[in-house]
Amino acid sequence: MIAILFFIFGGCIGSFLNVCIYRIPQNRSIFTPRSFCQRCKSPIKFYHNVPIISYIIIKGRCPFCKEKISYIYITVELLSAVFALLYFLKFGFSAVFAFFFILTSLLIIISFIDVKRGIIPNFITVPFTTIGFAFSFVFKKIKPFDSFLGIIAGAALLMLIAWIYKAVTKKDGMGGGDIKLLAMIGAFIGFKGVLFTVTISSLLGSIAGALCFIFMKKKDFKYHGRFLSTNKILLPFAPFLSAGAILYIFFGQALISWYMNLFTGFI
């Protein structure tokens, strides 16, 4: 029963995350006005705004003008609900639960903004890097020095990768938003978490890029106002960094221990 309550709680938070995803890139308040249809501007009734359930009942369309509502809304609510449940099952109702659920909520917002808009807002990454570091003095899951080292390593690693890529290709390949995002992630999960995140996100990004190249149907497509051909695939990197960080929270320590034992077995 308690687990169900955390699932519901996560869904409610997901509803708020949707507001953030839509309004933050437009520099609008995330608190007022109340939610409304983007087409007909009708305010959404409270009974049409129940996470997950309402989307299914109204069949993904505005109850007033029947405009189709993006599947992103229910996806975000489901992700938030599932992660709230999983963190509760792993950490219980604790400060560690709050610590990692806050990080995950931020990563969901950033990932979907990056996918939709091609940007990573400094409005989130910069202050929450500081907040994540401050948390390390309160929540004992990560020590302040490790958090600080994670910030430095997060920024330095992607800056180095971006510099090497530009030196080799003469093109920009890594945005400043990605660098700030990894610094924020480092503040929450530390130095080892950053190394794990970079490794996993690079692997996932490479696989996704290869699949896009293989299965892309059209020769040219438009991404955030720019026409790109199949030999110029541009993927938002925030979702991969986010996936790497979340995988570290759940499996990172176990995978690192397994790898180190495997490595020492060959020595």
Task: Give the domain ranges of the chain.
Answer: 1-89, 94-267
- Cβ distance 9 to 84 under 8 Å? yes
- The pLDDT, as a whole number, for residue 263 is 58
Q: Which is higher by pLDDT, 259 or 202? A: 202
- The pLDDT, as a whole number, for residue 259 is 65
- The pLDDT, as a whole number, for residue 47 is 77
**How many residues are recorded in the chain?**
267
Q: 21: helix, coil or strand?
A: helix
Backbone dihedral region for residue 141 (phi beyond 0: left; psi -120 to 50: alpha; all else: beta): alpha
Sequence letter at residue 94: S
- The pLDDT, as a whole number, for residue 266 is 52
Q: What is the largest CA-CA distance in the chain?
A: 68
Sequence letter at residue 144: P
Q: 221: helix, coil or strand?
A: strand
Ordered alpha helix ranges (H), 46-143? 53-57, 72-91, 95-117, 122-135
Residues 218 and 20: their CA atoms lie apart, in Å, by: 32
Buried b (16+ CB within 10 A) or exposed e, 138-152: ebebbeeebbbbbbe
pLDDT in tens, 170-229: 676 667 899 999 999 999 999 999 999 999 999 998 898 888 777 665 545 555 444 444
Helices H, strands E: what count in the chain?
A: 9, 2
pLDDT in tens, 76-91: 999 999 999 999 999 9
Q: 206: helix, coil or strand?
A: helix
Dihedral sign from CA coordinates of 165, 166, 172, 176:
positive
